[in-house]
Amino acid sequence: MTERSNDMIEDAVEGALHDLAAEAPATLLPSTLLAVGLADGYAPLDSPIGRLFVAFNGRGVSAVALADDEAAFERRFVGTFGRPIRRVGTLPGQLGRAIERRLSGDRRAPVPVDLRNATPFERAVWDKALEIPPGEVRPYGWVAAEIGRPRAARAVGSVLGRNPVPLVIPCHRVVRSDGRIGDYALGSAWKRAALMDEGLDLERLEALAHVGIRFLGSDTTRVYCLPTCRNARRIRPAHEVRFRSRVDALSAGYRPCRHCRPGAAAG
């Protein structure tokens, strides 16, 4: 075969390949970046405490915030995470349903979260918050003791305050060691609203905190609990015994509840 023939064949092949070529869809790059976690999408979601913006990527939910202004949410996200973000129509179906189940109190709803930059201590705190049942609260000192850092109650509070996915990780269920509600990443009013939506009797909890009552016991079972424990709520008024500290409860011959583990709470 002559050199001229070879050139003609190469030209024909190149021409055929050129005809087959097509521009990549404009959505390919954003979708790819979203899938690998190099960019995020976000969409609004109605919740018991108001309209939320939920950011996500292929790793999971990356941010949850209350906001009316999309531009402000985008600026805050980029400033915090350093990744591009864009508005999408709706959350992916399975993820959206799982978040709604989690917000309704289903702790078993599988909601993946993107916590790639979290420290081991932050992960331990957030994982422990996930164990607190809806309608119950635990003190910061309880979380600290449960993760093996009993002197780190203040650090626990700081970590919960910067939880990037509030409500999904229920940091609203952690309160001050004196039983008062305390601050919240989305605002104390929203914390109160979220707890009441879960069925927690805030008025009773705050009344007990006001007079220094930290634990409730039953004189029939001789078990003492944190005030919002599901077992404490079963105690009839005639059998309720109030304690200001663990020492008081133990001195009276009461043992700690296995559900709420009040022995981990300071005081």
Tokens of 97: 């349903």
Catalytic annotation, residues: 171
Calpha distance 208→216 (Å, rounded): 10
Instruction: Assess whether 219 and 201 both reside in one domain.
Output: no
Question: What is the residue-level pLDDT of the chain in tens, covering all 267 positions?
Answer: 555 555 554 555 455 445 544 444 445 567 888 888 899 999 998 877 778 899 999 999 999 998 778 999 999 999 999 999 999 989 998 999 999 888 887 878 889 999 998 999 999 999 999 999 999 999 999 999 999 999 999 999 999 999 999 989 999 999 998 888 888 877 788 899 889 999 999 999 999 999 999 999 999 999 999 999 999 999 999 999 999 999 999 999 999 999 999 987 665
d(CA 115, CA 93): 21
| Whole-Å CA distances, 240 to 6, 13, 222, 231, 232 | 97, 88, 10, 11, 9
| Residues 130 and 198 occupy one common structural domain | yes
CA atoms within 13 A on the CB side of 239: 13
Q: How many domains does the chain divide into?
A: 3
158 and 201 both lie in a single domain: yes
Which residues sit opposite 138 in a β-bridge? Answer: 174
CATH assignment of the domain containing 257: 3.40.10.10
Given a contact cutoff of 8 angstroms between Cβ atoms, the answer to whether 63 and 81 are in contact is: yes
Structural domain range at position 190? 120-205
Question: Does residue 5 sit within a domain?
Answer: no
What pLDDT, on a 0 to 100 scale, did the predictor assign at position 263?
A: 84
**110 in helix, strand or coil?**
coil
Closest CA relative to residue 127, chosen from 109, 147, 106: 147
The CATH number that applies at residue 92 is 3.30.160
43 burial via Cβ count (<10 Å: 0-12, 13-18, 19+): middle
Alpha helices (runs of H) in 104-245, residue ranges in sequence order: 120-129, 140-146, 153-161, 188-197, 202-210
Q: Which residues pair with 43 in a beta bridge?
A: 54
Tell me, yes or no, whether 66 lies in a domain. yes
pLDDT of residue 17: 41
Q: How far apart are CA 3 and CA 25, in angstroms?
A: 39
pLDDT at 26: 47
Please report the pLDDT score of residue 35 as a whole number.
85
Return the pLDDT at 6.
Answer: 53
